[in-house]
Amino acid sequence: MKKVMTALVATAFLASLTPTASAETSKGEPDFAQDRVLVKMKPGKDEKDLTNRYDVEKVLDLQEWKVLKVKAGDAKTMKEKLIGEWDVADVELDYVVHSATYWSDDRCPTPPPKPFPGPRPPYFDKLNLLKAWEKTLGSKERTIGLFDTGVDLEHKGLIDKLVSGYDFVERSSNPIDQNGHGTYVAGIMAGAANEELGSSGIDPSAMIMPLRVLDKEGVGYTSNVLEAMYYAVEKGVNVFNLSLAGGEYSDAFQDTINYSFEKGVVIVAAAGDDGGEKAVFPAAYENVLSVGAVDQEFKPADFSNYGGWVSLAAPGVGMETTARSGGIVTDLKGSSYSAAFVSGLTTLTWSTNLQMSNKEVIERLLNTAKQIEGTEKYTKYGLINPYDAIFY
């Protein structure tokens, strides 16, 4: 029966990660960079001719897509001009993205270290996570890309879990978290099992590559994220955690996701915290595991977005994790942390058979998820099931 189910899910795999036709999209134009556009040339055409004609400069190469710098305030006008050019296939604005769960400096206090031992978060027991850990504690051969505000590079629960990353905001090799959101997400995904702090990530063995694409206010641009994704593919990262949202549908973003997926990456994204049914990107792109939040009773969280475009639900209320500048913080809520949970579960599941493809790992997660009675409209597959995913 299990083989039959796997075959059925494999046949419908791509369709399962495709937004439903009825999904509502955002109304109104979102914020975008005023001094640049993303351009895709037609096959065989060189962007040099285009840049010379319009006296603009290529500042970033994203494979088929190029980021062109234009005069400040001219982005929208330049888009309209370029879209009609004979050698241009597509033009897009560089949309603003932000952490799916908003945080700012004044909302990210540094809590004191929690004494050990303390009570475990309820989802550890309710989801049989401890029993799943009896089979595997993960593998250092799997790395999760943290596309976020950076990370606390010196945190006791993270310092031994980090591989070299990059700051795509300030262009440095030191992706320090100046906000807090990234450190929170990192600890849930793959924080070390640290007895002094009394905390552990879902996969306490997987490594984390911090890729800072959001600034100290938790805000960035699509081009930052896409550049970081190509970088992470080149570095061999296995799972991308995108606890961010913003902008409208982007062919450049979808192309980058498709490229990453075909290179064997699992892409996980937060559904967002607007409490509505509208499709939110990047979670609503094809080839993405989109994740909504449930509360401590495994009921849909009132703040979480929902709908047939959301793949899975995971805990997103009462979350305990690493805090910026040391210690841990408790009682966080947001779909950012639900996505982090699924990213950790993805590498934990992968560790049971490192020969599995990204598609096979996703099939396990989808096959073992369980719909919560009466909440079928909230997600396509239901609540994640760590124990069954590990013992599949």
Tell me the catalytic residues: 148, 181, 336
Residue 129: what residue type?
L
| Residue 202 near residue 190 (C-beta atoms within 8 A) | yes
Nearest to 300 by CA among 289, 286, 314: 314
Element at 94 (helix H, strand E): strand 88-99
**What whole-number distance in Å separates Cα of residue 358 and Cα of residue 350?**
8
Residues 6 or more apart whose CB falls under 8 angstroms from that of 136 comprise: 348, 351, 352, 390
**Position 10: which residue type?**
A
- Cβ burial, residue 27 (10 Å; 0-12/13-18/19+): exposed
Integer angstrom CA distances of residue 68 from 6, 65, 247? 45, 10, 18
Q: How many whole angstroms separate alpha carbon 144 and alpha carbon 136?
A: 17
Specify the pairing of strand 317-322 against strand 312-315. Answer: unpaired
Is the separation of the CB atoms in 310 and 37 below 8 Å? no
For residue 254, the tally of other CB atoms under 10 A from its CB is 16
Structure tokens at 134: 């009896």
Backbone angles phi, psi at 328, to 5 degrees: -130, 165
Q: What is the largest CA-CA distance in the chain?
A: 66
Asked whether the beta carbons of 155 and 192 are under 8 A apart, the reply is no
Q: Which is it for strands 57-62 and 143-148: parallel, antiparallel or unpaired?
A: unpaired
Give the separation between CA 328 and CA 349, rounded to whole angstroms: 25
∠ CA 5-365-377 to the nearest 5 degrees?
Answer: 85
Which amino acid is present at 83? I
